[in-house]
Structure 1
Amino acid sequence: MSAYGAVISRNRPAAPLASTAWLCKPRASVPTHLTLHHLTLASASMLPGLVPYLHRCFADELERGATYPQEILPGEPYTQAQFETYYFAADVIVGIVGLGDAPDSDGAAVQGGVEEARQGRGWEECVAGVYYVKPNYPGRSSHICNAGFLIPLAQRAKGFGSVLAKSYLHYAPRLGYEASVFNLVYVNNIASVRMWESLGFTKAGLIPRAGRLKKADGSGEEYVDAWVIYKQFETVQQ
């Protein structure tokens, strides 16, 4: 739920967007590519165990208290119902670690869905990351979207975040959006800020003391400023 209440996506395509393949930077022990798949809560729920797995990953991220503003209070679990309402409010793109030959270029269409890409692997092994795409504002400003990215701990430091970020520039316009706003990119998340700037996003403003975040060394909490980051998408042919 946003400050505006429930925000409805009005320009979503009638059918799921095509699955695509995206190259990973060559490095030792890292797969050559990911396949990206468009899901909703209804379609994700048909994949046994996927939504509960993503819920656990997201709850763990909230518990770390360093990237998202939501706070899990002592004795108050973050339920799967809460996760579904927040993360699956509109559209979700899930990245699956690719098997076999790499595509010739980013965004190449691939046949089959998540189960075909999974090839019998457990979710912990094959899910490289995930992100939601939904309106950042209601009604007359619902053409501007927001996204939230999540990389499971076991899949970090493999470059998957940058692959998902590039794919966002492909999927968000095809979901009917004209631009993107990230409301809270905490300034201490230097790698994220640099990545978005490298993809043509600009800093639209700075919010002082925007987050009360846990310190990385576990010594307590601190207030951290946050950037508001914006990009207008290029027009795409549907």
Structure 2
Amino acid sequence: MSAYGVINRPQRTSYLPTTLWNSLRVESDLGTPSFVTIHHIDRAAVERIQTGLFNYLHCIFANEVDKGLTYPQEDISDSAAFGAYFFGGDVLVAIAGKGDPPAIKSEERGVREIEQSLDAARNGRTWEECVAGFYYVKPNYPGRSSHICNAGFMVPPSQRGSGYGHILAKSYLYYAPALGYKASVFNLVYDNNTASVKLWEALNFTKAGLIPKAGRLRRKDGEGEEYVDAIIFYKSFEETGPDADDQ
């Protein structure tokens, strides 16, 4: 629960379109660039259709929290706690492509929409093999400020180094406004998380503030803990969107 109490996300009656994105990863057997599809889901859809996906996402996120380097939580091993936190908002899951890219249904402002189910994108693989990343989007504040959203991103360790974090971030600039939000705030981007800081700077997020000693994080060398400053990043979604060159 936040300092404002429970912040409810808007109720959805339908899912946003699945989108297609270019990947930096090269398929070794073909020598050609691969692709990623991003799917809008919620807890009900995962439990109704996608057996095992919720548990896999929970495992990846809980392991990251347990490292004590990037998220403020100290423990989220309980599945109910994970569900309430992560699936308390809209969730987007990125699936690494396999085979030929699906046909493009429509394209606007560089965003390519397709018709493909999550299970079709999975294409017989395990979730460990195909999930390239995932993130939630939900209001950062209640009521009269609920038009400003927050998001939390995760790339499984086995998928890192392929540019998937950049794809998730670019897709966020499409999905968050499409969900009705006017702007984004990231409350706690720890300044020793160099990759994250560089990513949001590259996407023209504004450093709205700095909170000294905001995080009591584990040292990367494993020797105890240290206090780390956190950056507050802000971006308005008005007149912005993903660039076609990154699609």
TM-score (norm 1): 0.92
Q: State the match for 2:150 in structure 1.
A: 146
Aligned length: 232
Distance (Å, rounded) in 1 between the aligned partners of 2:240 and 2:196: 25
Q: Is 1:115 matched with 2:114?
A: no
Q: What's the RMSD between the two structures over aligned residues? A: 2.0
- Map of 1:172-187 to 2, 5 A cutoff? 172-187=176-191
SS at match of 1:38: strand
Q: State the match for 1:9 in structure 2.
A: 9
Unaligned runs of 5+ in 2: 242-247
Match of 2:136 among 111, 132, 145: 132
SS at match of 2:60: helix
Q: Is 1:51 matched with 2:54?
A: yes
Tell me whether 18-27 or 155-164 shows the greater mean CA deviation: 18-27
Deviation at 1:234, TM superposition (A): 2.8
Deviation at 1:31, TM superposition (A): 5.8
Q: State the match for 1:193 in structure 2.
A: 197
SS at match of 1:58: helix
Match of 2:64 among 61, 65, 89: 61
Q: Is the 8 A contact 1:136 1:146 kept in 2?
A: yes
Q: Is 1:211 matched with 2:215?
A: yes
Q: State the match for 2:42 in structure 1.
A: 40
- Map of 1:227-238 to 2, 5 A cutoff? 227-234=231-238
Deviation at 1:27, TM superposition (A): 4.9
Distance (Å, rounded) in 1 between the aligned partners of 2:173 and 2:25: 21
Deviation at 1:113, TM superposition (A): 1.3
Distance (Å, rounded) in 2 between the aligned partners of 1:50 and 1:28: 24
Deviation at 1:26, TM superposition (A): 5.3
SS at match of 1:223: strand
Q: Is the 8 A contact 1:19 1:110 kept in 2?
A: yes
Tell me whether 139-148 or 27-36 shows the greater mean CA deviation: 27-36
Greater strand fraction, Structure 1 or Structure 2: 2
TM-score (norm 2): 0.88
